[in-house]
Amino acid sequence: MAAPLTATAINCSLSSRGRKSSTDAMLAVLADHFKEQGVTVADPIRLAAHNIKWGVKSDEGEGDEWPQIRERILAADILIFGTPIWMGQASSVAKLVMERMDAFLSETDDKGRMPSYSKVAVAAIVGNEDGAHNVSSQIFQALNDVGWTIPAVAACYWVGEAMGSVDFKDLDHRPRKVTETAKMVAANAAHLARLLKKAPYPG
Q: Is it the case that residue 160 has pLDDT exceeding 90? A: no
User: What is the mean pLDDT of the segment spanning 80-91?
Assistant: 95
Mean pLDDT of all residues in the chain? 94
Counting Cβ atoms within 10 Å, is residue 57 exposed (0-12), middle (13-18) or buried (19+)? Answer: middle
Q: Is it the case that residue 162 has pLDDT exceeding 90? A: no
**pLDDT reported for residue 165:** 75
Alpha carbon distance 138, 127 (integer Å)? 15
**pLDDT reported for residue 112:** 97
Task: Note the maximum CA span of the chain.
Answer: 52
User: What is the mean pLDDT of the segment spanning 34-51?
Assistant: 96
Confidence of residue 186 (pLDDT cuts 50, 70, 90): very high
**pLDDT reported for residue 3:** 67
pLDDT in tens, 112-155: 999 999 999 999 999 987 899 999 999 999 999 999 999 999 99
Helices then strands, counting H and E runs in the chain, come out as 5, 7
Ramachandran quadrant class, 194 (left: phi over 0; alpha: psi -120 to 50; beta: rest): alpha
3-class secondary structure, 13: coil
How large a percentage of the chain has pLDDT more than 90? 86
**pLDDT reported for residue 16:** 79
* H or E element, residue 32: helix 22-36
Give yes or no for a contact between 11 and 45, defined as CB atoms under 8 angstroms apart.
Answer: yes
Alpha carbon distance 92, 100 (integer Å)? 12
Q: Is it the case that residue 1 has pLDDT exceeding 60? A: no
Q: Is it the case that residue 94 has pLDDT exceeding 70? A: yes
User: What is the mean pLDDT of the segment spanning 174-182?
Assistant: 94
**pLDDT reported for residue 18:** 67
